[in-house]
């Protein structure tokens, strides 16, 4: 992994942590679904 991929991964992790906080705050299954999709996208990108 080069520096650009590391920075993108860090940015995605920050966004994921934000989505997790929002989804647990509202208990929205849709937010959790988006969270899982973003994790799959992150794994695919790496």
Q: Where are the domains of the chain?
A: 3-45
The pLDDT, as a whole number, for residue 9 is 83
Cα 1 from chain centroid?
18
pTM over 0.75: no
Spatial distance between the Cα atoms of 18 and 12, rounded to a whole number of angstroms: 10
pLDDT digits (tens, 9 = 90+) for 2-37: 888 888 888 888 887 877 777 666 766 776 777 788
């Amino acid at each position: 992994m080069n520096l650009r991929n590391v920075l993108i991964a860090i940015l995605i992790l920050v966004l994921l942590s934000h989505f997790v906080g929002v989804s647990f705050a509202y208990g929205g299954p849709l937010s959790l679904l988006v969270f899982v999709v973003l994790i799959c996208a992150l794994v695919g990108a790496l």
